[in-house]
Structure 1
């Protein structure tokens, strides 16, 4: 009887498996280097079809003993992998995106997945593609302060770009403790998140033609910490040849909302280990590594949360790595030094910021009680690079000096909001634009996004109320925020916001396809690249209206003020300006 029951059970189970696989419809099949993958046919609107491949693993999951290791290649498979759903997000604590984020499959350390969206016009599974019949690829590196976020379509829906014949790749990478803890050791050197990005870009190169894409036309885009990541990859030898253009939105590798100093990384690591009860002076680095790979995820995340609250949103962050560790080295010098040496200057760049970036962080400034923190330590108003790398007395004095610009007597939340706009975002973006002029860099297109939405997704997500255009707002007009807008795009545009989405996605897709935002000649007067005559940027304030502007006096004064605070950036500017002057004299 036992064998009879077992046989029947096996037959039923086998039949169920067969029935499930038989009933699963494969709308489209692609043959990756790791194995066949089935995708779905979807629609951006009633007239535009595209293919989605969601939750594709691009490397082995970094779990167990591999928790802090460089990603390893996948084991190949032979049966179709059904890429119908996004994978789980990487472990994090999200206090940034509010109700935008929807993690349908939760969070897991097994989170190394890519989501690929391909216009139906693409020629799939061909090795014979040339530029004429292949599509450009946009790889999107999500933001979230290096602590949170995902490659999910909740914030990064591809629908707008599916209308523009651009392949979109979203993906997850390790975050917070798992992505950026650095013990300056051979097993935990830091920058795993950036290392994951390099692994993904190599995966794109190997599989681009399978999706009908051109591996020679890969643009990487990032917003906020994603933008800083993009810029850091522009400075890294490890990513050389993996992309040919870049887009950075509200972020640079200039460490102003983070610190890349190994001293800061050690401070954060010691705080984290202390929360776990690990004495770093009594254990070897290998013993600490062993302990951390064996700890339950919940214990690690509890300690991560404490560090994030004590140190701020950008606690575990990219770091300058020491030589001689076990993995691919991503950052080999101070980013400011690398930029000033001209590293990355030959990569074309589209860059911009929002007019009122800091408004997005007003509620975070409030719950973090930053006003009282300033009273106890004035250095908190400085960029983390200055606050943690300067001698304490000098940092405090500079903090008081900066406070006088933003506070009329007593410190206020509104004063901090304005300081965040200036110090974390607009100042470093403007300095980078100036430096690229001094370095005779590849074409650089600069913008300020100041469009005030009729329905602001960022306000809705965090129940905010403000006047202006805050952090993340420009991103919501390039990608489709499916959480609030659903999966369909209005064609033709019905509302003013629809018109702006159409225009922003057109400008960005033009850049991806044609190397400039207008898809016209390089010196198109509607939006020319920056040049040495005058730093100009595109003011994106209304749909379909081109308006070039020089830096207004308000921004000029702000830059001059912060040049007086940030000695490293000011001195580097002076050196580059002098070099540019000498070079011009000999031409």
Structure 2
């Protein structure tokens, strides 16, 4: 365990701006023995690779936008500058600035820096060539990591399983932490730059997807954890309601509403004040603050973010409801719960999921930051994030403590149960319930409860029993880091059967807007009975909220808790 915590505290510091947009890229005159594709910015030379019986093209580290360097640090993304010759797309580029925590040993970045707006495109080949006659569905994956950590790299997000099922896979990086989600509520720093990067990537896919053999009219966006919250927010954005950028969405362990982050501007303002103090920025003039933010080294950003995160144990920066500013097009223009009520995103089919005990795999981090020990001094930690600004939050915290904690000294297991229910399981069920109540495209819900024989988190020293956070992700994406389970070990176990089963669930949804061949085996969510799939073996197992007394009571508890919350008049 000590090794895990040591790795989890690794901080990667980065150098400043690059002199040129492509000074750290490799170019070549020809693409001999490679796979050439012409993008809207220039030629790229990918690799031809093999996984089992599937031959696929791999194009990694492709810039989808200009690097946000210097004066562009807080600007909306812009078109990547055109280049001559062939861009070498045989390896991934830098990941965005961050302090790697929790799953550090799984990540093996090639580099780290603000020149990080890279896409990785993988396409199954037909006869060694990119398919041209029959376009393939496109899966765009938005990585998780609390809006502060992670990347689209194949160390965790290997695309191989999807490629064997004729799906084009796109993974990518977006700005994180204060560089991606700091909001000063000004036109210079309005917040949500990470979401703007994601939208820009989706527009890049529309311009380039055909060139990689994809069907740009059949795009599914998929996110896990914070990535799932982003996916859900994108379905609610005023900029996506024509459904031209994507047609389906998968939310794995995350939601835009009643979830693990607070999107209210007053919270963003409080975080910004703390952040600026830690950065040593004491100016009050917005322009002066902005210039100092531009001048600061990224290592300062990383350290200040780390300190805030250590204090709260939660992601300090997150998407925010934006105010109106001249020259700024808002990505999120209203409370997401209100957007759902208004019908935003209701024509997008959803596949929603949660794991058996989400926070079980976060136990080491919860213990490391002593969140149970901080509970008595900070009652906000006993509340779902959105309720931490309620006028009657003290009363609500007492209700939550009475339900989850036997006494004043909260135990680690008690906190894990609270964390799992309040931040993941209830938000997933609530999101599905709202779709069932309000109507719209068919949506489906499942719990991932398979306890694998070979668990990559156990191999890293994590103490887990129930299926936890990220374990469903490592079932559908192939981990390719040095600590991954060897393929031959995986092949001999039932884990391979469950990997096939779970990937097929997602691919069925990607191709048919339904996760199973028959709605009798897996019906869409409805108000009564409210049914969902329990993924614990390679057969369909329907559960219903009405029959599951424990889960039903939990949902009713949180529904009543939110209904009893009163708005803060200063909000």
Q: Same fold (TM over 0.5)?
A: yes
> RMSD of aligned C-alpha atoms?
2.2
1:56 to 62, 67, 81: 62
Cα deviation, residue 87, structure 1: 0.5
Q: Establish whether residue 85 from structure 1 lines up as the match of residue 80 from structure 2.
A: no
In the TM superposition, what are the counterparts of 1:12-51 in structure 2 within 5 Å? 21=28, 25-45=32-52, 47-51=53-57
Cα deviation, residue 411, structure 1: 1.3
Per the alignment, residue 238 of structure 2 pairs with 237
Cα deviation, residue 390, structure 1: 1.8
Cα deviation, residue 195, structure 1: 0.4
Per the alignment, residue 308 of structure 2 pairs with 307
In 1: Cα distance, 2:262 partner to 2:42 partner? 41
In the TM superposition, what are the counterparts of 1:63-212 in structure 2 within 5 Å? 63-103=69-109, 105-121=110-126, 129=133, 133-212=134-213
Per the alignment, residue 411 of structure 1 pairs with 410
1:248 to 240, 246, 251: 251
1:545 to 539, 543, 552: 539
**CA displacement 1:385-441 (0-9 Å, x = unmatched):** 112x123xx322321221111112231111110001100011111111111011112
**CA displacement 1:65-87 (0-9 Å, x = unmatched):** 11111111112123111101100
Cα deviation, residue 124, structure 1: 6.4
Per the alignment, residue 427 of structure 1 pairs with 426
Q: Is the 8 A contact 1:564 1:570 kept in 2?
A: no
Q: Is the 8 A contact 1:147 1:313 kept in 2?
A: no
Q: Cα distance 1:533–1:82, how it changes in 2: closer, same or farther (>3 A)?
A: same
Per the alignment, residue 458 of structure 1 pairs with 457
Q: Establish whether residue 390 from structure 1 lines up as the match of residue 395 from structure 2.
A: no
Q: Cα distance 1:540–1:122, how it changes in 2: closer, same or farther (>3 A)?
A: farther
Q: Cα distance 1:561–1:283, how it changes in 2: closer, same or farther (>3 A)?
A: same
Q: Cα distance 1:568–1:149, how it changes in 2: closer, same or farther (>3 A)?
A: farther
**CA displacement 1:320-366 (0-9 Å, x = unmatched):** 00012433311000011111222111100111100111101211111
In 2: Cα distance, 1:122 partner to 1:191 partner? 42
Per the alignment, residue 476 of structure 1 pairs with 474
Secondary structure of the corresponding residue to residue 509 of structure 2: helix
Q: Cα distance 1:441–1:570, how it changes in 2: closer, same or farther (>3 A)?
A: farther
Per the alignment, residue 337 of structure 1 pairs with 338
Q: Is the 8 A contact 2:41 2:80 kept in 1?
A: yes
In 2: Cα distance, 1:37 partner to 1:27 partner? 9
Cα deviation, residue 379, structure 1: 2.2
Q: Is the 8 A contact 2:305 2:316 kept in 1?
A: no
Q: Cα distance 1:355–1:361, how it changes in 2: closer, same or farther (>3 A)?
A: same
In 1: Cα distance, 2:484 partner to 2:164 partner? 16
In 2: Cα distance, 1:445 partner to 1:403 partner? 32
**CA displacement 1:283-315 (0-9 Å, x = unmatched):** 321211111001112222221211222233311
Q: Is the 8 A contact 2:66 2:77 kept in 1?
A: yes
Q: Cα distance 1:27–1:82, how it changes in 2: closer, same or farther (>3 A)?
A: same
Higher mean alpha-carbon deviation, 561-570 vs 313-322, is at 561-570
Per the alignment, residue 579 of structure 1 pairs with none
Q: Cα distance 1:363–1:182, how it changes in 2: closer, same or farther (>3 A)?
A: same
Per the normalisation by structure 1, the TM-score is: 0.88
In 2: Cα distance, 1:267 partner to 1:384 partner? 14
Secondary structure of the corresponding residue to residue 375 of structure 2: helix
**CA displacement 1:182-210 (0-9 Å, x = unmatched):** 00000100000000000000000001110
Secondary structure of the corresponding residue to residue 105 of structure 2: helix
Cα deviation, residue 486, structure 1: 6.2
Q: Establish whether residue 257 from structure 1 lines up as the match of residue 264 from structure 2.
A: no
Cα deviation, residue 123, structure 1: 9.5
Q: Is the 8 A contact 1:124 1:209 kept in 2?
A: no
Q: Cα distance 1:96–1:255, how it changes in 2: closer, same or farther (>3 A)?
A: farther
In 1: Cα distance, 2:237 partner to 2:203 partner? 14
Secondary structure of the corresponding residue to residue 503 of structure 1: helix
**CA displacement 1:264-288 (0-9 Å, x = unmatched):** 0000000001112222xx4321211
Cα deviation, residue 55, structure 1: 0.2
In 2: Cα distance, 1:570 partner to 1:494 partner? 55
In 1: Cα distance, 2:298 partner to 2:489 partner? 45
Cα deviation, residue 372, structure 1: 2.2
Give the gaps of 5 or more residues in structure 1: 1-19, 572-587
Q: Cα distance 1:124–1:182, how it changes in 2: closer, same or farther (>3 A)?
A: farther
- Structure with the higher helix share, 1 or 2: 1
Secondary structure of the corresponding residue to residue 190 of structure 2: coil
Q: Is the 8 A contact 1:490 1:498 kept in 2?
A: no
**CA displacement 1:466-489 (0-9 Å, x = unmatched):** 221101111111110112576996
Q: Cα distance 1:124–1:322, how it changes in 2: closer, same or farther (>3 A)?
A: farther
Q: Cα distance 1:487–1:363, how it changes in 2: closer, same or farther (>3 A)?
A: closer
In 2: Cα distance, 1:539 partner to 1:137 partner? 27
Give the gaps of 5 or more residues in structure 2: 1-26
Q: Establish whether residue 566 from structure 1 lines up as the match of residue 562 from structure 2.
A: yes
Q: Establish whether residue 557 from structure 1 lines up as the match of residue 564 from structure 2.
A: no
In 2: Cα distance, 1:78 partner to 1:112 partner? 19
In 2: Cα distance, 1:411 partner to 1:76 partner? 57
Per the alignment, residue 13 of structure 1 pairs with none
Higher mean alpha-carbon deviation, 294-303 vs 180-189, is at 294-303
Q: Establish whether residue 449 from structure 1 lines up as the match of residue 456 from structure 2.
A: no
Q: How many residues align?
A: 537
Secondary structure of the corresponding residue to residue 424 of structure 1: helix
In 2: Cα distance, 1:242 partner to 1:122 partner? 29
Q: Cα distance 1:190–1:446, how it changes in 2: closer, same or farther (>3 A)?
A: same
Q: Cα distance 1:122–1:87, how it changes in 2: closer, same or farther (>3 A)?
A: farther
Q: Cα distance 1:68–1:304, how it changes in 2: closer, same or farther (>3 A)?
A: same
Per the alignment, residue 278 of structure 1 pairs with 281
Higher mean alpha-carbon deviation, 81-90 vs 498-507, is at 498-507
Higher mean alpha-carbon deviation, 440-449 vs 71-80, is at 71-80
| Rg larger in structure | 1
In 1: Cα distance, 2:556 partner to 2:484 partner? 44
Higher mean alpha-carbon deviation, 213-222 vs 292-301, is at 292-301
Q: Is the 8 A contact 2:105 2:483 kept in 1?
A: no
